[in-house]
Structure 1
């Protein structure tokens, strides 16, 4: 399947503003409208530093006072390999007109560490650690937190929290701006 990919490095100036534009443009291309339930599905676990990107992002989003989206997956209630199938079933039952943005950590080449990728289509969680899990999302955001290819679980355990936290802050800020822009622009049309 062809995935259109855009990326931002967390050390870029205004990385959150750049990422906001990528997220916004990708969602518009995929016909997202505010009449759809926006779900931000933050996948990962608080038991592994490298895999905590999703839960950290979800926790930051939950703290926003006026964030107009459903956030599933936080540090306190993570969405991970053991409960992902159940969460997907819950989403399918509860939300019949939704647009899902899935967020997860990933592993990649040395030159890709620090990048946040935005892609069209469903996320395939567990790929970095060779797990086969159900796909989810209309689009997805992946933060490349460390190097992949060898001893993936150990690499995730030894990933620096600073890079994961900086990515979570960048993604949550970008999503806040993108969602606010959706509502401002689409409300003006009504």
Structure 2
């Protein structure tokens, strides 16, 4: 199945483990969803390293910085996580420092047993902490959410007892897709510079 056809019809896309070419396709999708190609792209990876299941976001942010992304501004890592305590403060900082940015939110979520391992990407904001009944602001112009475990009963303990292997594999997959997005942004910037140079040439 051509996944790009699915993107043009839906504003929410679910990637299962057997989806082919996940990373490049996710990157192209998010790039396609950007309306203004001149805006800065900011990534906010939500979660905490104190809970295995909730470490998806900061682990993804750490992987991206280790891979040396150049055109994505990353907030939320294992060293400096963005979580319930500092989320509002971080969002205010982003609004002040990156006022016209395109914001991508990454966070873990809980779902049905058959959904574990799926990565859901969509247009619009996500509501962090919903599984734990936390009253937090909505985040993102688009979101990437990874289903790390089963939800519905004692969600806090479920997150605490989620396998790190599962979270790590999903973080690596998301980080790879966002690294491709970083490459697409680099190509976009090069094309813009080339167009400006052509216009300036007599």
**Which deviates further from its counterpart, 123-132 or 74-83?**
123-132
> Gapped runs of 5+ residues in structure 1?
none
Task: Report the Cα distance in structure 1 between the residues aligned to 2:149 and 2:36, rounded to whole angstroms.
Answer: 31
Give the match for residue 25 of structure 2. 21
> Gapped runs of 5+ residues in structure 2?
1-9, 196-202
Pick one of 154, 157, 161 that aligns with 1:158.
161
Give the match for residue 72 of structure 1. 75
CA offsets 1:4-25 (integer angstroms, 9 cap, x no match): 211212x3265xx324313422
Alignment of 1:36-185 (within 5 A): 36-185=39-188
- Normalised by the length of structure 2, the TM-score is 0.85
Task: Report the Cα distance in structure 2 between the residues aligned to 1:99 and 1:125, rounded to whole angstroms.
Answer: 18
Matched, 1:5 2:5: no
CA offsets 1:79-116 (integer angstroms, 9 cap, x no match): 00000000000001111120010000000011111100
**Which deviates further from its counterpart, 121-130 or 43-52?**
121-130
Question: Shift of the alpha carbon at 1:31?
Answer: 1.0
Larger Rg belongs to: 2
Matched, 1:31 2:38: no
CA offsets 1:32-74 (integer angstroms, 9 cap, x no match): 41x2111110000000000000000000001123432100000
Question: Shift of the alpha carbon at 1:120?
Answer: 0.6
TM superposition outliers: structure 1 runs of 4+ over 6 Å: none
- Normalised by the length of structure 1, the TM-score is 0.90
CA offsets 1:146-190 (integer angstroms, 9 cap, x no match): 000000000000000001000110000010012212331453353
User: What RMSD over aligned residues (CA atoms) do the two structures have, in Å?
Assistant: 1.7
Q: CA contact under 8 A between 1:61 and 1:67: conserved in structure 2?
A: no
